[in-house]
């Protein structure tokens, strides 16, 4: 597995300054990923499922000013992707698959627009997981910024579970399919990134995102997904598991994202009601699986070795 970038670990103060400057520059701009709310919920779900050793490691890696709250920085990779220093990370947020193929093949699909291999969200998850696996080596490996690796991994585990992030090449995962969401202009990618989440929050939770997140969690703790939780957490080999997550997304994109949608039309209640449970389930799966990976990385070294055997 290739390493995308080598750079030294800056201080937490520098990361804080970079975050604040980035937020000031990009606040209000459209970003092509789970919305801020989607990423925040994914990371909140994951952090609540961390075992003590992993929870401590995550807290140690986060800058002091977020007070141990991983979700406060889960949107950071979107905010820096167009900065010169981080421009190389832009292709890592998605996977473009052949139009209408409706499947994912790593060797065929995981590359950037110039054909550079491993430069996609599936490759990025493997890469940053491998980087974080050096955490317990202390200061012996200074090549990678462990804090940034944590933020990228957390963000990309959200991205790979957003079905339209593993979409068709020609329409850029639905970004060029312009339409209307109820009464306002949007596009198919943005519908899955943000519109469905915000509509669900407004219609059922009084726009309270924390209540929405609690509703999602209750569905896998003692609700309709509780019998599926154990299977979501299963992973003996990271490469195989990440490929599975990407395959799930393109399958959902074909069956539920693209199906029956034409450019210029209006999507409303029928589309929302049938797709909303899928979006919520993918946020849940992303959070559960992120926790599983972090628990492997920062927990029992024997489990970590098994997870990373093929990377």
Full domain range(s) for residue 288: 12-307
Distance between CA atoms of 210 and 220, rounded to whole angstroms? 16
Number of domains the chain contains: 1
Q: Nearest CA to 192 among 202, 181, 203?
A: 181
Tell whether 172 is covered by a domain.
Answer: yes
Q: Record the pTM.
A: 0.89
pLDDT at residue number 25: 38
Q: Classify burial at 246, counting beta carbons within 10 Å of its beta carbon; exposed 0-12, middle 13-18, buried 19 or more.
A: buried
Contact 265, 179 (CB under 8 A): yes
Q: What is the pLDDT of residues 206-261, one digit of tens each?
A: 999 999 999 999 999 999 999 999 999 999 999 999 999 999 999 999 999 999 99
In-domain check, residue 111: yes
CATH number (domain holding residue 193): 1.10.575.10
Q: What's 192's DSSP letter?
A: I
Q: For residue 195, is it within any domain?
A: yes
Relative to beta strand 184-187, strand 266-267 is: unpaired
| Residues listed for the chain | 311
Two structure tokens written together for 168: 């068709």
120-153: pLDDT as tens digits: 999 999 999 999 999 988 654 455 699 999 999 9
């Amino acid at each position: 597995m290739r390493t995308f970038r080598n750079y030294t670990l800056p201080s937490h103060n520098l990361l804080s300054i970079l975050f604040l400057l980035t937020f000031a520059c990009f606040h209000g701009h459209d970003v092509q990923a789970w919305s801020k709310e989607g990423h925040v919920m994914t990371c909140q779900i994951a952090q609540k499922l961390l075992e003590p050793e992993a929870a401590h490691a995550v807290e140690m890696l986060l800058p002091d000013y977020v007070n141990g709250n991983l979700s406060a920085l889960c949107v950071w990779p979107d905010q820096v992707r167009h900065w010169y220093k981080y421009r190389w990370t832009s292709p890592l947020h998605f996977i473009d698959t052949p139009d209408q193929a409706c499947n994912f093949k790593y060797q065929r699909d995981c590359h950037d627009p110039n054909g550079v291999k491993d430069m996609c969200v599936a490759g990025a998850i493997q890469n940053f997981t491998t980087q974080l696996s050096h955490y317990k080596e202390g200061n012996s490996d200074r090549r990678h910024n462990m804090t940034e690796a944590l933020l990228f991994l957390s963000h990309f585990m959200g991205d790979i579970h957003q079905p339209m992030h593993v979409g068709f090449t020609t329409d850029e995962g639905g970004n060029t399919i312009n339409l209307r969401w109820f009464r306002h202009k949007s596009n198919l990618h943005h519908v899955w990134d943000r519109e469905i989440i915000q509509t669900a929050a407004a219609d059922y939770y009084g726009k309270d995102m924390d209540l929405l997140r609690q509703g999602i969690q209750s569905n896998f703790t003692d609700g309709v997904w509780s019998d599926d939780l154990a299977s979501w957490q299963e992973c003996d080999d990271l490469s195989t598991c990440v490929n599975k997550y990407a395959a799930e997304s393109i399958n959902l994109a074909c069956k539920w994202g693209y199906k029956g949608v034409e450019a210029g039309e209006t999507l409303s209640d029928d589309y929302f009601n049938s797709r909303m449970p899928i979006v919520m389930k993918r946020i849940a799966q992303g959070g559960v699986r992120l926790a599983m990976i972090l628990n492997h990385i920062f927990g029992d070294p024997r489990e970590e070795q098994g997870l990373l055997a093929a990377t």
